[in-house]
Amino acid sequence: LITTLHTKRTELLPAVLGSTEETTTGVIRLRAMEKEGSLRIPVIAVNDAKSKNMFDNYYGTGESALHGILRATNVLLPGKNFVIIGYGHCGRGVAAFARGFGCHTIVCDVDPVAALQAHYDGHRVMTAGEAAATGDIFLTVTGCKDVLNAGHFKRMKDGAVLANAGHFNVEINIPELEGLAKRKRTVRPNVQEYELADGRRIYLLGEGRLVNLAAAEGHPSEVMDLSFSLQALAAEYIAKHKLEARVHRIPTDVDENVARLKLQALGIKIDALTDAQEKYLAGWSEGT
């Protein structure tokens, strides 16, 4: 929508107060637009809210990506070498839940801090090239393109399963997979079998589109409610304030307010700081 506004329907831009952006990839693109000076409306990056990325991305994608894989394949997860490519909020959720199911988790990431965290979280860390030869199930959650390509497909075991829960259907290079295959057939709904020249078979789920949407029902509404509340309150904030045409962080009090409302809905009570504690945290002279 924002892209269309800035390319094909620029005459509408003056009437637009602003926008909010829900996804990691959307925010990356908006920042790219801002950087090159193309962005002409204010946008609040809802995705960067603490009440969003730790919840919708981690728990929502974590659960629904596994749900999609189970539903498409009915594989036995325990004991599988499960390769997670991308260890951001989404990847960390998937990796934690996959391990909770008895998977042998392997993580690949280009970010050294994320890779180190995965290592200490108990996942094996290696290049996607090494993982290609070991994995039973591969899930891309990167927001980048061409993450699994011909170089990887050539090293995979017969029966390898490929899925994407990142952004678009470009994370797995499907044209290259098609190029390597001598035959292709649908073996179950949302499961395409690609038979390579040497007889090995690779199974692509949901045509490489988001497996939680293609093969299951997407994130549960119970976690999307956090994100949608943030969207609604961010829209209200835009309407009430005059913001510059750039990408804005969501105000902290809006962010915390959403978490507070959700706790209330769940019937969970938490403590508040006392005045003495507030003062202690704001000071620097007390203590050893």
Q: Does 90 bind a copy of itself (CB under 8 A)?
A: no
CB 43 within 8 A of CB 20: yes
Shortest Å, Cβ 197 to a copy of itself: 23
Under a CB-based contact definition with an 8 Å cutoff, are residues 233 and 44 in contact? Answer: no
Give residues 129-158 in contact with a copy of itself (rule: CB under 8 A). 129-130, 143-146
The separation between CA 234 and the C-alpha centre of its own chain, rounded to angstroms, equals 21
Token match 């976690």: residue? 223
Determine which residue in the list 43, 94, 95, 108 makes contact with a copy of itself, applying CB under 8 A: 108
| Exposure string for 154-185, b = 16+ CB within 10 A, e = fewer | eebeeebbbbbbbbebbbbbbebbeebbeeee
> Scanning the structure block, which residue is given the tokens 């390597």?
180
Nearer to a copy of itself, 71 or 248 (CB): 71
Shortest CB 258 distance to a copy of itself, Å? 9
Q: Site mask, a copy of itself, residues 171-210, x = CB under 8 A?
A: ----------------------------------------
- 195 forms beta bridges with 183, 201
272 in contact with a copy of itself (CB under 8 A): yes
Q: Contact, 69 vs 203, CB < 8 A?
A: no
Indicate the residue among 239 and 266 with the shorter CB distance to a copy of itself: 266
Cβ within 8 Å of residue 209, ≥6 positions away: 164, 168, 169
Using CB under 8 A as the binding rule, whether residue 21 contacts a copy of itself is answered as: no
Q: Which amino acid is at 56?
A: D
Within 39-78, the residues that bind a copy of itself by CB under 8 A are: 50-51, 54-55, 58-60, 62-63, 67, 70-71, 74-78
Span from 128-136, 198-206, 228-236, 241-249 in contact with a copy of itself (CB under 8 A): 128-136
Binding mask 217-256 for a copy of itself (x = CB under 8 A): x-xxxxx-------------------------------xx
